[in-house]
Structure 1
Amino acid sequence: MPVDAAFVEIDGPWQHRYVAANGARFHIAELGEGPLVLMLHGFPQFWYTWRHQMTALAEAGYRVAAMDLRGYGGSDKPPRGYDTYMSTLDAASVIRALGESDATIIGQGLGGWIAWSMPVLRPDVTNAVASLSMPHPRVMRRASWLNRRQRTASGWIVALQRPFGPERAMGQSHDYVAGLLRDWSAPGGAFPTAEDIARYGDGMMIPFVAHSAAEHYRWLGRSQLRPDGPFFMRRIRHTIDVPVLELHGADDGCVLVNSIRGSARYVPGDFRSVTIPRAGHFLTEEAPEVVSDELVGWLKSR
């Protein structure tokens, strides 16, 4: 059954607002005052995955804005614009719409892929990057080609290339989302709870979200057969000149921990990589205190 997009306006210490940016309207949850930190969620979630880190960073003196990516949650769901170029432009435009000239970009999963791309594609608004559960895009692509176990773990992306089927599965029940949350998180952990499954399952049942979420990954698949994919990979190989923090769960079932080696070669300067034990893909919820401490410590050290 379809879910009203307003359900993402979950009560808390944050404020909900909608900003016009890059020709679309984006839902933002905002908290705190100080230098801007823009948070980008991954699949199959929405802004709410950052709730623990939002309060920690706000208490540490930062203005935190967790946005719903294009096609997710309360943000617009246009028929086009799900390539990484547009995603980085969305983020840059949201930063400016919030009245800031630049920000630290923190992303998880798909949001991490976008965050890694920001210093190269939108350097004018990016002063630092933290990526959770996602290595540099070129490292991820290489692992998906050469690492047999990673190819198997990435099989869900191949399955998303089929039209209509994934959307129907996400729209009919919570089973699709529940499977990803369980398979990608650390075995034996407390995440996901039944409430987590209901929350993120409902998020995928908002009209057009399932299709839009799949389109982000369909671009990744289709672009490999067109000029824009190789061109993106050539552009993204350029040196990153801003500080970068990489956090990864030792038990990540989506992006395997042995697939992340190599990101440092793209960041010759300030680069820190931390592997978090007994945590999987959903670091913000599987190890919220550890992630919050790492982010605050990294931000304060710059």
Structure 2
Amino acid sequence: MAPPDPSTVRFDGPWVHRDIHANGIRFHAVEVGDAAPDAPLVVLLHGFADIWWSWRHQVTALSEAGFRVVAIDLRGYGDSDKPPRGYDGWTLAGDVAGLIRAMGYGKATLVGHADGGLVCWATALLHPRLVHSIALVSSPHPKALKRAVFRDRFQRRALLPSFLAYQVPRRPERRLTADGGAEVERLIRIRSGPTWPENPEFTDVVTKLRSAIRIPGVAHSALEYQRWAFRSQLRNEGRRFMGLMDHTLNVPVLQIHGELDPYVLTRTVRRDKRWAPDKKLQIVPGVGHYAHWEAPERVNGILVGFLDTHRS
């Protein structure tokens, strides 16, 4: 079977597809086309083995609330470029900074899930003038996550096995793409809340993401995020990066977390307070790692309330 073409992620809907050049590469982006010229910008960043489609419910709801909302395929994913390098924290933050400028804005609110949330934290700390506020879904501060892995055996058991398995060459890529991307579906099932696999949307979501991971270069790029996050901790660059992260964030911060998330534990996200003392934590009952999929109306209401409170 031939691998999918990158353009297969350009699904039809009440939005337009764009190509935006920033930080030396091309990004595929999706937005609703009728935002007011002065509408505040919100940039949505997906997580591991995912694409912009992760935010389909949020793109429309936040646009209807009066924001210019742009969901992107991160570097290496979907129909964005897949360069061989650039999956480190500095470059990923530079991608988002470049996107904000390329869209003609001086500031934006960033919303990220999992790996995309870690990019939000990094961008807010490395490019503070460009970030108005950040909202995270199951994405603790990088320092909080590192401390939890060292100090909390339950968080270590949840996170470390996959991180270690992804460090070897080639084999993880083959596992992610084998059997039509079945591993992606397995990860979603074990990290979701118990009722999500019974949702009528589940089959459509996993079908799209199983196809997207098989686009040439995507599996390798996705794993490079995980590899840099782990391996850099053993190198000077990782220590420098964590040193830069070890500062108090002074922009508004919202943390949305699924009550039943088995991958990122609730007590891990509570550790964020040290670096974001004014952070607002919203626990969504009955859902797991993908709160924005599993309870979209609830998450949309939380996000709109946060954005309206801090509207510039």
Bin of the TM-score, shorter chain as denominator length: over 0.9
Cα deviation, residue 59, structure 1: 0.4
Partner of 2:29: 28
AA matched with 1:232: F
AA matched with 1:202: S
SS in 2 for 1:163: coil
Q: Does 1:266 align with 2:275?
A: yes
Instruction: Please give the per-residue CA displacement for 1:24-55, whole angstroms capped at 9, x wherever unaligned.
Output: 00000012331100010001211001010111
Instruction: Please give the per-residue CA displacement for 1:256-279, whole angstroms capped at 9, x wherever unaligned.
Output: 2222222112123x4211111101
Cα deviation, residue 101, structure 1: 1.3
- Do the aligned residues in 2 keep the contact of 1:120 with 1:235 (CA within 8 Å)? yes
Partner of 2:54: 49
Q: Does 1:105 align with 2:114?
A: no
Structure 2 Cα separation of the partners of residues 221 and 301 of structure 1: 36
SS in 1 for 2:249: coil
Q: Does 1:300 align with 2:305?
A: no
Structure 1 Cα separation of the partners of residues 55 and 140 of structure 2: 19
AA matched with 2:300: S
Structure 1 Cα separation of the partners of residues 163 and 224 of structure 2: 11
Structure 2 Cα separation of the partners of residues 139 and 281 of structure 1: 17
AA matched with 1:260: V
Partner of 2:188: 181
Instruction: Please give the per-residue CA displacement for 1:68-110, whole angstroms capped at 9, x wherever unaligned.
Output: 1100001100000000111110001011111111100110000
Structure 1 Cα separation of the partners of residues 202 and 309 of structure 2: 34
Match of 1:225 among 227, 230, 234: 234
Q: Does 1:276 align with 2:292?
A: no
Q: CA RMSD in A?
A: 1.2
Q: Does 1:79 align with 2:79?
A: no
SS in 2 for 1:127: strand
SS in 1 for 2:75: coil
Give aligned pairs, total: 301
Worse-superposed segment, 69-78 or 258-267: 258-267
TM-score w.r.t. the length of structure 2 is 0.94
Match of 1:96 among 73, 86, 101: 101
Match of 2:214 among 194, 205, 224: 205
Worse-superposed segment, 138-147 or 186-195: 186-195
SS in 2 for 1:262: helix
SS in 1 for 2:270: coil
Structure 1 Cα separation of the partners of residues 271 and 157 of structure 2: 20
Q: Does 1:131 align with 2:163?
A: no
Structure 1 Cα separation of the partners of residues 229 and 49 of structure 2: 16
Structure 2 Cα separation of the partners of residues 193 and 283 of structure 1: 13
TM-score w.r.t. the length of structure 1 is 0.97
- Do the aligned residues in 2 keep the contact of 1:83 with 1:219 (CA within 8 Å)? yes
AA matched with 1:278: G
Structure 1 Cα separation of the partners of residues 262 and 7 of structure 2: 31
SS in 2 for 1:64: strand
AA matched with 1:165: R
Instruction: Please give the per-residue CA displacement for 1:189-243, whole angstroms capped at 9, x wherever unaligned.
Output: 3357222211111110010000000001100111011101111111101111110
SS in 2 for 1:78: coil
> Which structure 2 residues correspond to residues 111-150 of structure 1 after superposition, within 5 A?
111-150=116-155
AA matched with 2:172: P
Structure 1 Cα separation of the partners of residues 178 and 273 of structure 2: 42
- Do the aligned residues in 2 keep the contact of 1:250 with 1:276 (CA within 8 Å)? yes
AA matched with 1:160: Y
Structure 1 Cα separation of the partners of residues 204 and 15 of structure 2: 20
Structure 1 Cα separation of the partners of residues 121 and 307 of structure 2: 17
The percent identity for this pair of structures is: 44
Q: Does 1:158 align with 2:164?
A: yes
AA matched with 1:23: G
Cα deviation, residue 291, structure 1: 0.6
Q: Which runs of 5+ in 2 are unaligned?
A: none
Q: Does 1:193 align with 2:199?
A: no
Q: Does 1:172 align with 2:181?
A: no
Partner of 1:3: 4
Structure 2 Cα separation of the partners of residues 87 and 166 of structure 1: 22
- Do the aligned residues in 2 keep the contact of 1:178 with 1:201 (CA within 8 Å)? yes
Cα deviation, residue 125, structure 1: 0.8
Structure 1 Cα separation of the partners of residues 209 and 24 of structure 2: 27
